[in-house]
Structure 1
Amino acid sequence: METLQFPENFWWGAATSGPQSEGNFKKQHQNVMDYWYAQAPEDFYNQVGPDTASDFYHDFQTDIQLMKVCGLNTVRTSIQWSRLIDDFEKNTVNTEAAAFYSAVIDAFLANGIEPFITLHHFDLPAELLHKYGGWESKHVVDLFAGFAERCFALFGDRVKYWFTHNEPLVVVEGGYLDQFHYPKKVNGRAAVQVAYNLQLASSKAIAKYRQLKQDGQIGIILNLTPAYPASQAKADIEASEKADLWYNRLFMDASSKGEFPPALVELLEQEGVLWQAAKDELTLIRENTIDLLGVNFYHPNRVQRPKFSPKSLVVDFRPDKYWQAYDMPMARMNVDKGWEIYPRAVYDIAKDIQENYGNLLWYISENGMGVSQEERYLNADGVIEDDYRIQFIKEHLYWLHKGMREGSNCLGYHLWTPIDCWSWSNAYRNRYGLIANNIHTQTKTVKKSGRWFKKVAASGRLELENDIIE
């Protein structure tokens, strides 16, 4: 048996979001997901929408106590812009919403759990999409910075870890290229501008935070997915380099180094789709880099040379015209989700941050395994025996520990998610939590993985029994 020891103050935690856990009780405004469901419930798995979610709005006190049972010392959630603010132009605060979020933060602290707060988790207010075009508008960027400032002023006395966006690339790809998030557009030029505007919004929020001189740290959550080439052939390597610029370097460079990757800027200029940017905006981005990086990792990206030449005529711009996905033969899979399981990528990410990004402070902000029909694994005592999830976590912690042992400045590991939560158009098709949730009764029970996670978190030790697949 091998035992790995993690640092004493390591963040053993989990992550969720406001729109996926709270439900939309007592909200004056819809976010884009609320609006999408109201318009097209058939787009959602079993037509289950965000109305109730996991009922965290009513159950947060007992939910947080269950999180403590799982040994969590840190938890990330988000503040819904569409809940907190009554008038988006004036940034007037809804007092009932402010009291709710204040009570949530206090409950976390009372249970010995450090709250991490995200400001935007795919939940742009629908009103701002319809009125201004959403993240295509720089006015919305300014409104977001104002919302962020309100959050800092209201809760910054107790919240010490803030994050501007969760996975901004998903907003770009889901909403403007691949139609799996609202507004479900296909517009490469708009996608590029939205990417820039999301970065600008992040940097403006960071500037607001720094102006308040609060005692904490602020960063961003990025889904980093190493782009592995299908082979060592020149064309496959070039495809992986282009994919890496888009999937990883776009927001990583701008957020941590203060400038966009020159090779990506050059490519977008050649395509005639480079974002509209002002000099003062680029200066603001350069001067307001992150203190802390959150990395969401679920699966690798494997790519190969594109099927057609990117120089083909009359082709609307899409970043992925420079590569295509590659399915590696005999890949280990989470078949329910359709994602490859490749824990070694966590080590590759750790080394990349160490060697190419000044070894900045970071943590795994999401990692997890979505499984359908988990009731298959219910034992006689009513506990889900999710040994597959324990194995998944072990393998990712093994490779994370290797990167840390070699000097990468990783501060923690957060699983997605503490309690089974609503997941956008997938609703509850796959479950990820340490805690099971019967969505019909809102009965919540700790899974086997939750009990196991508590033991690991309490000791800081990961015991391996030759069960790591390298």
Structure 2
Amino acid sequence: MGSTGRGGEAAAGEVTRADFPEGFVFGVATSAYQIEGARNEGGKGDSIWDVFADKKEHILDGTSGELAVDHYHRYKEDIELMAKLGFGAYRFSISWSRIFPDGLGKDINEEGVAFYNNLIDFMIEKGIQPYATLYHWDLPHNLHQTVGGWLSDKIVDYFALYAEACFANFGDRVKHWITINEPLQTSLHGYGIGIFAPGVCEGEAAEPFLAAHHQILAHAASVDVYRRKFKAVQGGTVGFVVDCEWAEPASDKIEDQAAAARHIDFLLGWYLDPIYFGDYPESMRKRLGDRLPNFSEKDREFIRNKIDFIGLNHYTSKFIANQPNPQPKEIHFFQARQVEILEKRSSGEAIGERAASEWLCIVPWGIRKMINYIAKKYDNPIIYVTENGMDDLDDPSAALDQFLNDTKRVGFFKGYVGAVAEAIKDGADVRGYFAWSFLDNFEWAQGFTKRFGIVYVDYKNGLSRHPKASAMWFSRFLNGAGADSKPDTN
């Protein structure tokens, strides 16, 4: 670390672009429901999030993504700013209900196809590589109503039809595909706790595991379609995005060490072990028994190695201790996991400074450990860090300058980007890094109360965009410029 970037001296020990291999991709990430808006435009059908957020009690501030930050109409402005800042890639998601309003894969919505064609073409014109996510939580509401969404095995075929339509329409330009984003969140929060759409919370212990099972099969089915019908001509790759915090044992006790390993099994292994090894982790099988669905021999063969890269969404790390007597009121996933999540050790040592969200502590060394864990366990796969970032609490009374001078976020990115560079030096095959998020946006159940963007969106004054200090830091970092130079973002 601390080598000189192109055209400027780096501070001692500070990460520079030169610390990364040739061809390493730096980008920003968003998702359709969080930024697009235009709920009733362009032939789009309702998604489960459209309907879920209609009940204002589901969202902390009673808002929704109906307008979001209006990226649907302002995508050119947003892509131009991205390019001016120097980012080489944009990870965006395609709204399934913009392509197939009813989700059924029969009548394609040409207006939706045209929107994403225009978006992709403009990205490429501005020198930005498209990284497209097929599913970032916004299932067509009709599929939830008619077949039960991710709880039905029929969803696998519907997802494959949708994926095929996207490959056929966009795959001549999109060379990096992500099937499903954070299946853990859909399974647990959508079908277990019920705080995310579709809000299923009936106490049935099997539901989160069924939703997870079908997401794994749907991922494999779409990779299969790509490899059979498109790979030879298009030459792209297809990955799967998982989210996992690093689990640092709270002590040297054997039971805490085992609990930390188990924590990662229940977050990461739940989705990756079936693809790489043909079944769920042994620690899950042992504790969950027949609540976990079984893969038939045919399924095992079908899903095995159906992945070209792992996308890792990583934000934080926690101390993990064994919890032999979990709360009986919790859903079975948490009871079976038997872990206690701590921000401080018994000695009082904190794992890191907290961001705005109570779950997010700033622990740069955790991402290095997380990446190295994946590299070791799954035989050094290609990895992209597909999300990494931190939030501020929205304060409508605060001055604009207060948000733009986001020094804590600058420090966050310096630390985490530096730790990714160290993981590469350790031997991990990391090919890219995407900051979350490009824009302040609708933050799911938290509404607009949290701001993750490196670009401030003024919700009170026409949704105008203002790059924060963190965006300027990235621009200097990407251009190898000195710390005092300022990019032209006007």
TM-score (norm 2): 0.87
1:112-144 C-alpha deviation (Å, 9 max, x unpaired): 000100011011112111211110101011101
Structure 2 distance, partners of 1:332, 1:316, is 28
Q: Counterpart in 2 of 1:349?
A: 370
- Match for 2:108 among 93, 103, 109? 93
Q: Counterpart in 1 of 2:56?
A: 41
The question of whether the paired residues in 1 share the 8 Å contact of 2:102 and 2:142 is answered with no
Structure 1 distance, partners of 2:466, 2:106, is 39
Q: How many Å apart are 1:393 and its aligned residue? A: 0.1
Decide whether aligned partners of structure 1 residues 462 and 209 sit closer, same or farther in structure 2, where only a CA change above 3 A counts.
Answer: farther
> Residue 32 of structure 2 aligns to which amino acid in structure 1?
G
SS state at 1:45 partner: coil
The question of whether the paired residues in 1 share the 8 Å contact of 2:246 and 2:367 is answered with no
SS state at 1:281 partner: helix
Structure 2 distance, partners of 1:351, 1:417, is 24
Q: Counterpart in 1 of 2:451?
A: 431
Q: Counterpart in 1 of 2:142?
A: 127
- Give the alignment of 1:110-125 within 5 angstroms: 110-125=125-140
Q: Counterpart in 2 of 1:8?
A: 22
The question of whether the paired residues in 1 share the 8 Å contact of 2:256 and 2:321 is answered with yes
Q: Counterpart in 1 of 2:381?
A: 360
- Match for 1:442 among 437, 457, 463? 463
SS state at 2:46 partner: coil
1:297-321 C-alpha deviation (Å, 9 max, x unpaired): 11114322225179x8x99733444
SS state at 1:294 partner: strand
Structure 1 distance, partners of 2:285, 2:220, is 18
Q: How many Å apart are 1:245 and its aligned residue? A: 1.3
Structure 2 distance, partners of 1:53, 1:17, is 11
The question of whether the paired residues in 2 share the 8 Å contact of 1:68 and 1:113 is answered with yes
Q: Counterpart in 2 of 1:202?
A: 219
SS state at 2:252 partner: coil
Structure 2 distance, partners of 1:309, 1:58, is 48
* Farther off after superposition, 434-443 or 54-63: 434-443
- Give the alignment of 1:232-271 within 5 angstroms: 232-269=252-289
The question of whether the paired residues in 1 share the 8 Å contact of 2:44 and 2:99 is answered with no
* Farther off after superposition, 27-36 or 81-90: 81-90
Q: How many Å apart are 1:265 and its aligned residue? A: 2.9
Structure 2 distance, partners of 1:172, 1:303, is 22
* Farther off after superposition, 358-367 or 433-442: 433-442
The question of whether the paired residues in 2 share the 8 Å contact of 1:3 and 1:461 is answered with no
- Match for 1:451 among 460, 463, 472? 472
Structure 2 distance, partners of 1:86, 1:177, is 26
Structure 2 distance, partners of 1:319, 1:141, is 27
Structure 2 distance, partners of 1:57, 1:316, is 38
> Residue 474 of structure 2 aligns to which amino acid in structure 1?
F
Decide whether aligned partners of structure 1 residues 402 and 262 sit closer, same or farther in structure 2, where only a CA change above 3 A counts.
Answer: same
The question of whether the paired residues in 2 share the 8 Å contact of 1:224 and 1:296 is answered with yes
Structure 1 distance, partners of 2:324, 2:148, is 33
The question of whether the paired residues in 2 share the 8 Å contact of 1:70 and 1:453 is answered with yes
Count of residue pairs the alignment pairs up: 455
The question of whether the paired residues in 2 share the 8 Å contact of 1:193 and 1:276 is answered with no
Q: Counterpart in 2 of 1:468?
A: none
Structure 1 distance, partners of 2:296, 2:483, is 49
Structure 1 distance, partners of 2:352, 2:23, is 33
- Match for 1:73 among 68, 88, 106? 88
Decide whether aligned partners of structure 1 residues 357 and 276 sit closer, same or farther in structure 2, where only a CA change above 3 A counts.
Answer: closer
Structure 1 distance, partners of 2:331, 2:352, is 34
Q: Counterpart in 1 of 2:440?
A: 420
The question of whether the paired residues in 2 share the 8 Å contact of 1:227 and 1:300 is answered with yes
Q: How many Å apart are 1:407 and its aligned residue? A: 1.3
The question of whether the paired residues in 1 share the 8 Å contact of 2:178 and 2:239 is answered with yes
Q: Counterpart in 2 of 1:285?
A: 303
Decide whether aligned partners of structure 1 residues 388 and 285 sit closer, same or farther in structure 2, where only a CA change above 3 A counts.
Answer: same
Q: Is 2:170 the counterpart of 1:148?
A: no
Structure 1 distance, partners of 2:40, 2:76, is 16
Structure 1 distance, partners of 2:481, 2:270, is 34
SS state at 2:404 partner: coil
Unaligned runs of 5+ in 2: 1-11, 485-490
1:89-113 C-alpha deviation (Å, 9 max, x unpaired): 3432101110000000001101100
Q: How many Å apart are 1:164 and its aligned residue? A: 0.5
Decide whether aligned partners of structure 1 residues 462 and 351 sit closer, same or farther in structure 2, where only a CA change above 3 A counts.
Answer: farther
Decide whether aligned partners of structure 1 residues 299 and 450 sit closer, same or farther in structure 2, where only a CA change above 3 A counts.
Answer: same
Decide whether aligned partners of structure 1 residues 164 and 461 sit closer, same or farther in structure 2, where only a CA change above 3 A counts.
Answer: farther
The question of whether the paired residues in 2 share the 8 Å contact of 1:128 and 1:134 is answered with yes
> Residue 43 of structure 1 aligns to which amino acid in structure 2?
H
SS state at 1:412 partner: strand
Q: Counterpart in 1 of 2:97?
A: 82
TM-score (norm 1): 0.91
Structure 1 distance, partners of 2:403, 2:282, is 52
> Residue 209 of structure 2 aligns to which amino acid in structure 1?
V
Structure 1 distance, partners of 2:317, 2:78, is 32
Q: Counterpart in 2 of 1:324?
A: 340
- Match for 1:378 among 400, 406, 428? 400
1:360-407 C-alpha deviation (Å, 9 max, x unpaired): 11121101111013674633xx98111111100001112111111121
SS state at 1:411 partner: strand
Q: Is 2:371 the counterpart of 1:340?
A: no
Aligned identity (percent) is 28
Q: Counterpart in 1 of 2:153?
A: 138
Decide whether aligned partners of structure 1 residues 3 and 443 sit closer, same or farther in structure 2, where only a CA change above 3 A counts.
Answer: closer
> Residue 118 of structure 1 aligns to which amino acid in structure 2?
T
1:22-70 C-alpha deviation (Å, 9 max, x unpaired): 11241442111111112x1122132111111110110001111011122
> Residue 164 of structure 2 aligns to which amino acid in structure 1?
E
SS state at 2:442 partner: coil
The question of whether the paired residues in 1 share the 8 Å contact of 2:104 and 2:143 is answered with no
Structure 1 distance, partners of 2:403, 2:204, is 46
